[in-house]
Amino acid sequence: MIAEFGFGILVVSLIVTVYSGIAAVYGVLNKSAGLVESARRAQLLTFPLLTLSSIVLIYLLTNNRFEVSFVYEVTSRSMPTYLQVTAWWGGQAGSLLFWSWLLAVFTSAVTLRKWDRDIEFLPWVIVVSAITLAFFLGMIVFFENPFTRFWLVDGNVVPSMFAPSATATVFTPQDGQGLNPLLRHPGMIIHPPMLYLGFVAYVVPFAFAIAALITGRTDDRWTRITRRWSLWAWLFLTLGLVLGGRWAYDVLGWGGYWGWDPVEIAAFMPWLTGTALLHSTMIQEKRGMLKHWNMILVILTYALVVFGTFLTRSGVLSSVHSFANSPIGPFFMGFVTLTLVSSIALLIKRWPELQSENEMKSMLSREALFLLNNLLFMSILVICFWGVIYPLISELFTGQKVTVGPPYYERATGPLFAGLLFLMAVAPLSAWGHSTLQTLGRAIWKSTLAAAVVTIFLTITYTQNIYALVGFFLVALVLFTTGHEFWRGASARQKSQGENFFAALTRLMGRNRRRYGGYIIHISMALMAIGILGIEIFQKETQGTLAEGESLNIANYTVTYRELASWNSPGEGVNYTRSVVDIYENGVYLGQLAPRIDYYYDAEQNMTIPGQRSTFRDDLYILLVDWQPVSSIGATFKIYVNPLVNWLWIGSIVFLFGIIFAAWPEKDPAEVSVRRKSARDNRQASAAD
Amino acid sequence: MKKFLFILTLVLVLSGLFTATTVFAQDGITDDEVNAIAKQLYCPVCENTPLDVCPTEACRQWRELIRLQISQGMTEAEIKQYFVDNYGARVLAEPPRTGLNWLVYILPPLFILAGAFILFRSFREWTKPQIVEAGSSGESDAGEASSPSDTDDYIARFEEEVKKRK
């Protein structure tokens, strides 16, 4: 009964969503404010409806209602309640509902904003979000219904929403299959919601962009309204990626955080366009240029978000056959293609109205360097997209299955990432409008010198690897130039205001949140780059089978196998095999680590939990690969030394700080920008608010 | 017939391998030597998992096969070729550089070059009417301008800005 109720609400939500879209179009074409208002309210209604439907699903999940096939697939009796709740997004059907619920949250929040100055956008924003929501709800209702139940028909178990025949009875399995153990990790509990928050939040800027195209209001208003949305979307997307990396590092047991897997790349691609967008909208706001390009970027980001949602959950890219066999594959591709084509058509129609208000004056101006940054991001995107798609093309045309793996991506993107680091160092020093080699050189020579000194120092003390040294030089250059920017601004303020240095620095940053938040993010990216360089270039590994008391040596470390125990934990449905090893560095005892293998009975799957010792210099990362169950005399260990990888996580914390700093609500951004544009005239007005 | 031939070859190869096991001692081959090769190969059954870290039983057997092959004196290239012959090109980390696969390596650089070319041409176009408003960079935005062209000038403008905002 309760499952039917949940499904019924989904159907109602779909109808309400479709109505809101149609009413909005009809209302705007017939200039009926009443209909548009009705559409807005219908849109608002989707939020409580989908919340209710989600509550029903969570109720089913937490009450072991295994007659519901989704519940059977993702939970089991032995799973703790919090995992049963988060199993909501542990499978395709549930995560599509989660996606839709988030979209309802966001669009409701958007429709509740003050619209007085932008009322012409409202109906079209509703239309775009309604189309998106209707598409996802349609997928759920018709193909991936989380409320489908098992029925017993003539001795066969059949999944179906409603009774397939008059004699059919509901079939309830004893226990569920349980969530994939790999997903029962704190990182995996937060990683998908973060990623999805990022994905879904990008629908909002897209909706405004399309509204701007349709209404012909082609100034930078849409970017100003959605600037904070884009920033939060970017925050969540980045966090989702980083948390996913951390999860892989802790759980997947291959000593790394990123494997250039199509699923990872699917989440990375909207990040690339989103990051490019973040930079190029600034050009539009400051200089009134690149309006076409920003439209293209926001359209691409939206398409990649839908594409990514589809890829991450369906696994259809593994082969042409799984794509063709998946019921939702063709629909998703159809939807992506349709939105892409219609958005681009709209853009072409408005093309002449989106002319630049300014001319590009110098190839070294800030806007020119931002364009170069965009070129690099787009290049990385092309490499990623092609790498993900090519195996399908190969299979389709030649029947040959191929793998496009890390060597391809690393070789192709490495120089581009280096280029991005270089731009990160240089671009903040160039001026809007006009810069010359001379002005840039004067601004950067001290930092370059300092970075060179650091590099020489590293050459002597740490490494002679040329790639690493180039990377470290660029990282140091970013850190020095960015640090110098902070110092220059603060000391100028210190002089003029007579404040002490720290007061000057905090006030300066507080007044230019976006700019200094951006600088903090640049610093965080440089720190992350240290970690990436460390693990990519200097990772060491060894593997061996040891008897108790025997050791393996790697880098300066010695790892000695002490003991191993294996026991069942019936309550959790897990068998633990825990080994204990002593670790020494240059003969000095450091302590013990306990790599283990957890075997989950319900899912019949192993999970490898590494023993980790993390320092700023390197991580010692030990995996228990195998053991002899009977005698426990021999155990096989795989040991990695991952230099500097900790900086990746430190960088992500700095990143979090930087982006929250930048996105922290201050006065209405439109208000501030207006004020900045003509600071003199508006002084009194701005002082008042 | 084809199937029969395949099975026959498989049986021959496997029996060859097993008799070889008894003849050659494998003790000298370390896990690291095996992994060095396994790392470059992809699990033929799992998606996108390198053979050296794949936890499945099948992969463990494949790693033992590599150990055996090393002990028989096969080179790295020969072992890789053996896997390609038996499981297809997908076991390689990158598509082999033949036929259609060249697209993998050619298309992205072409795209990037095209992008760079378009960007460069646009720059040329944009920078042509340079004579107009040469001195207008200052007007862009006093609050955000970070022209380091002249530090004193920057500080002066900064001070002015701070005073305005007080």
> pLDDT digits over A563-602, tens only?
888 899 887 788 999 999 999 999 999 999 999 998 888 7
Is A685 among the domain residues? Answer: no
Asked if residue A677 has pLDDT above 70, the reply is no
A368: exposed, middle or buried (C-beta count within 10 Å: 0-12, 13-18, 19+)? buried
Q: Write down the domain spans for chain B.
A: 10-93, 97-128, 129-166
Between A65-79, A321-335, A383-397, B63-77, the lowest mean confidence (pLDDT) is in: A321-335
CA nearest to B108 within chain A: A383
Mutation pick from A370, A376, A397, A402 vs chain B, by most beta carbons of B within 10 Å, is A402
Between A84-98, A113-127, A464-478, B40-54, the lowest mean confidence (pLDDT) is in: B40-54
pLDDT at A400: 83
Positive or negative: CA dihedral A343, A344, A345, A350: positive
pLDDT at A52: 97
Contact assignment for B116 to A375 by CB distance below 8 Å = yes
For residues A194 and A65, state if they share a domain. no
Asked if residue B2 has pLDDT above 70, the reply is no
Count of alpha carbons within 13 Å of A662, Cβ hemisphere only? 25
Percent of chain A at pLDDT > 90 equals: 52
pLDDT at A672: 46
Residues found in chain B: 166
| Residues on chain A touching B141 (C-beta within 8 angstroms) | 286, 432, 676-677
Rounded Cα distance between A478 and A486, Å, is: 12
A312: exposed, middle or buried (C-beta count within 10 Å: 0-12, 13-18, 19+)? buried
DSSP code string of A81-120: HHHHHHGGGSSHHHHHHHHHHHHHHHHHHHHTS--GGGTT
The pLDDT confidence band at residue A150, using thresholds 50, 70 and 90, is: very high
Q: List, in order, residues 6 or more apart from A663 with CB less than 8 Å away.
A: A228, A231, A232, A235, A517
Contact assignment for A375 to B90 by CB distance below 8 Å = no
Number of compact structural domains in chain A: 4
Is A686 among the domain residues? Answer: no
* Cβ contact B17:B65 at 8 Å: yes
Is A658 among the domain residues? Answer: yes
**pLDDT tens, position by position, A96-111:** 999 999 999 999 999 8
CA distance B24 to chain A (A): 20
CA distance A409 to chain B (A): 10
Query: Which residues partner with A636 through β-bridges?
Result: A545, A626
Contact assignment for B146 to A431 by CB distance below 8 Å = yes
Scan residues 285-324 of A and list those with Cβ closer than 8 Å to B: 286-287, 315, 318
CA distance A53 to chain B (A): 34
CB contact, 8 Å: A412 with chain B? yes
pLDDT at B138: 38
The pLDDT confidence band at residue B164, using thresholds 50, 70 and 90, is: low
For residues A159 and A191, state if they share a domain. no
Contact assignment for B108 to A378 by CB distance below 8 Å = no
CA nearest to A545 within chain B: B31
Residue A456 CB neighbours (<10 A): 12
For residues A245 and A370, state if they share a domain. yes
| Residues on chain B touching A315 (C-beta within 8 angstroms) | 47
pLDDT at A216: 86
Is A683 among the domain residues? Answer: no
* Cβ contact A587:A558 at 8 Å: yes
Contact assignment for B155 to A495 by CB distance below 8 Å = yes
**pLDDT tens, position by position, A299-334:** 999 999 998 888 776 666 665 555 556 677 788 888
**pLDDT tens, position by position, A540-551:** 999 988 888 899
Q: List, in order, residues 6 or more apart from A402 with CB less than 8 Å away.
A: A390, A391, A394, A395, B89, B90, B92, B95, B96, B101
Asked if residue A238 has pLDDT above 70, the reply is yes
Please give the DSSP secondary-structure letter assigned to residue B42: B
Mutation pick from B27, B31, B130 vs chain A, by most beta carbons of A within 10 Å, is B31
Q: What is the largest CA-CA distance in chain A?
A: 88
Q: Which of A286, A378, A393 sits opposite B144 (nearest CB)?
A: A286
Asked if residue A70 has pLDDT above 50, the reply is yes
CA distance B110 to chain A (A): 10
pLDDT at A393: 87
Q: Which of B108, B148, B163 sits opposite A386 (nearest CB)?
A: B108
For residues A641 and A658, state if they share a domain. no
Task: Find the mean pLDDT for residues A155-181.
Answer: 86
pLDDT at A674: 47
Rounded Cα distance between A204 and A490, Å, is: 36
Token look-up 């598509």 returns B95
The pLDDT confidence band at residue B162, using thresholds 50, 70 and 90, is: low
| Residues on chain B touching A432 (C-beta within 8 angstroms) | 137, 140-141, 144-145
Contact assignment for B90 to A403 by CB distance below 8 Å = yes
Task: Find the mean pLDDT for residues A138-158.
Answer: 91
pLDDT at A90: 84
Percent of chain A at pLDDT > 70 equals: 94
| Residues on chain A touching B31 (C-beta within 8 angstroms) | 542-545, 636, 638
Q: List, in order, residues 6 or more apart from A450 with CB less than 8 Å away.
A: A476, A480
Nearest Cα neighbor of A426 from A470, A366, A375 is A366
Rounded Cα distance between A385 and B155, Å, is: 46
Asked if residue A658 has pLDDT above 50, the reply is yes
Is A389 among the domain residues? Answer: no
Token look-up 């949602």 returns A309
DSSP code string of A289-336: --HHHHHHHHHHHHHHHHHHHHHHHH-GGG-HHHHHHSSSHHHHHHHH
Is A163 among the domain residues? Answer: yes
Domain span holding position A632: 539-646
Q: List, in order, residues 6 or more apart from A684 with CB less than 8 Å away.
A: none
Helices B76-87 and B31-38 pack at an angle, to 10 degrees, of 50
Is A393 among the domain residues? Answer: no
Contact assignment for A390 to B103 by CB distance below 8 Å = yes
Contact assignment for A492 to B159 by CB distance below 8 Å = yes
DSSP code string of A379-391: HHHHHHHHHHHHH
Please give the DSSP secondary-structure letter assigned to residue A165: S
Nearest Cα neighbor of A482 from A346, A247, A658 is A658
Task: Find the mean pLDDT for residues B107-118.
Answer: 92
Asked if residue B7 has pLDDT above 60, the reply is no
Pairing relation of β-strands A551-554 and A557-569? antiparallel
CB contact, 8 Å: A545 with chain B? yes
* Pairwise pLDDT comparison (A395 vs A374), residue with the higher score: A374
For residues A411 and A481, state if they share a domain. yes
CA nearest to A288 within chain B: B140
For residues A215 and A341, state if they share a domain. yes
Q: Which of B31, B112, B143 sits opposite A676 (nearest CB)?
A: B143
The set of long-range contacts for A677-681, using a CB threshold of 8 Å and a minimum separation of 24, is: A677/B141, A679/B142, A679/B143, A679/B161, A679/B164, A679/B165, A680/B164
CATH class of B10-93: mainly alpha
